[in-house]
């Protein structure tokens, strides 16, 4: 199963993105192959529609769940319509690497 | 004929139970109760920057109703700021658009996918997870000291029921402070 993690950067030491749609990258972790990669978030700097763009990206890449600090209202609705699980992670000092380790447990 | 009741929707639970002022050591039981609809109205308007037309659709209420909820929410937050009072998130007349779970180990909250019953945390795999109040929230009486729940009997006052464990009067879940 593929999980997207909102990330402020494209390194494993990057912080978890606190707002979906506004993060600079997504780290995509596939639990079956145990592989991950970083994809840049196309909506990072645009004014409107960033959330919609990111949801489309996740759906197109067959991602089943997404982790971020918070999600916009419209984004929550779009994600649940696309059958993607929303995971709200509490404010944390954890980096992407820590979250991947949790997912591997 | 009475108008059919619409279910006000909130999209996800708040990530905490409320707020406390820094440095104010007043009596601890005082404070402002903010309903989850009120919380959601501020989150949608001022955090998500939606306009009222968009926000009232997401909450499944009419525009005048939304405006009323939002106005009341702002009044309460302003009162809490000005008077240095804590804010407690409490129930309200709402349902959640999805089933939500909270992991007591890693603190994450997550929705379940259609038809799925979860037994462990989707992040850390801990089995120490609890379901966050669902659409049936208004039909339960809850003990505020130990969290025990009983099915609410229509026409009966919740307070006439006593907790089977600690013998305290029960509250309606709707009025109980958020049990996150
Ligand atoms: Zn967990
Ligand atoms: Zn009790
Ligand atoms: Zn009751």
CA of B55 to the centre of ligand 2 (A): 38
Å between B120 CA and nearest CA of chain A: 12
pLDDT at B114: 75
pLDDT at A84: 95
- Tell me: pLDDT of A79 over 90: yes
CB atoms within 10 A of CB B64: 10
CB of A83 within 8 Å of a chain B CB? The answer is: yes
Residues of A in contact with B47 (CB under 8 A): 70, 72
CB of A47 within 8 Å of a chain B CB? The answer is: no
- Nearest chain A alpha carbon to B121: A103
| First-residue to last-residue Cα distance in chain B | 38
Sequence-separated contacts (24+) of A74-82 with Cβ below 8 Å:
A74/B48, A74/B50, A74/B54, A74/B58, A75/A20, A75/A21, A75/A51, A76/B11, A76/B12, A76/B97, A77/B11, A77/B58, A77/B97, A78/A51, A78/A52, A79/A55, A80/B97, A80/B98, A80/B111, A82/A55, A82/A58
Residues of B in contact with A22 (CB under 8 A): none
Tens of pLDDT along chain B (180 residues)?
Answer: 455 556 788 888 888 889 989 987 665 567 899 999 999 999 999 988 889 998 998 898 999 999 999 999 999 999 999 988 999 988 777 777 778 888 999 999 999 887 788 889 999 999 998 877 544 445 677 777 787 877 766 556 777 788 888 888 877 665 555 544
Residues of B in contact with A103 (CB under 8 A): 123
**Do B111 and A105 make contact, defined as CB atoms within 8 angstroms?**
no
pLDDT at B153: 67
**Do A102 and B113 make contact, defined as CB atoms within 8 angstroms?**
no
- What's the whole-number mean pLDDT along residues A85-95? 90
pLDDT, tens digit (0-9, with 9 covering 90-100), for A17-64? 998 988 999 999 999 999 999 999 988 888 778 889 999 999 999 999
- What ranges do the domains of chain A cover? 2-104
Best to test chain A binding among B104, B113, B116 (most A CBs inside 10 Å): B113
**Do B122 and A87 make contact, defined as CB atoms within 8 angstroms?**
yes
pTM attached to this predicted model: 0.75
pLDDT at B160: 77
In whole numbers, what is the pLDDT of chain A averaged over residues? 93
Closest in A76, A77, A83 to B113, CB measured: A83
Out of 3.90.600.10, 3.40.50.2020, 3.30.420.130, 3.90.420.10, select the CATH number for domain A2-104.
Answer: 3.30.420.130
pLDDT at B180: 44
Å between A89 CA and nearest CA of chain B: 5
CB of A86 within 8 Å of a chain B CB? The answer is: yes
């Amino acid at each position: 199963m593929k999980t997207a993690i909102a990330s402020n950067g494209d390194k494993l030491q990057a912080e978890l993105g606190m707002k979906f749609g506004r993060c600079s990258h997504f780290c995509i972790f596939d639990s079956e192959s145990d592989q991950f990669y970083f994809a840049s978030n196309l909506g990072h700097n645009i004014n409107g529609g960033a959330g919609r763009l990111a949801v489309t990206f996740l759906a197109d890449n067959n991602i089943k769940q997404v982790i971020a600090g918070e999600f916009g209202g419209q984004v929550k609705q779009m994600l649940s319509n696309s059958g993607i699980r929303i995971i709200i992670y509490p404010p944390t000092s954890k980096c992407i690497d820590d979250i991947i380790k949790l997912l591997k447990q | 004929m009475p108008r059919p009741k619409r279910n006000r929707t909130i999209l996800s639970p708040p990530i905490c139970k409320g707020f406390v002022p820094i440095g104010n050591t007043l009596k601890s039981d005082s404070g402002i109760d903010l309903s989850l609809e009120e919380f959601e109205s501020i989150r949608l308007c001022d955090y998500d920057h939606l306009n009222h037309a968009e926000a009232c659709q997401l909450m499944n209420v009419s525009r005048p109703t939304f405006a009323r909820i939002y106005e009341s929410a702002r009044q309460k937050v302003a009162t809490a700021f000005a008077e240095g009072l804590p804010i407690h998130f409490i129930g309200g007349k709402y349902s959640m658009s999805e089933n939500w779970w909270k992991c007591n180990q890693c603190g994450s909250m997550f929705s379940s996918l259609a038809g799925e019953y979860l037994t462990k945390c989707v992040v850390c795999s801990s089995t120490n997870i609890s379901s966050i109040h669902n659409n049936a929230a208004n039909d339960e009486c809850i003990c505020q000291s130990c969290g025990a729940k009983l099915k609410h009997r229509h026409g009966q006052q919740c307070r006439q029921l006593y907790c089977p464990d600690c013998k305290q009067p029960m509250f309606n879940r709707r009025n109980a402070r958020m049990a996150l």
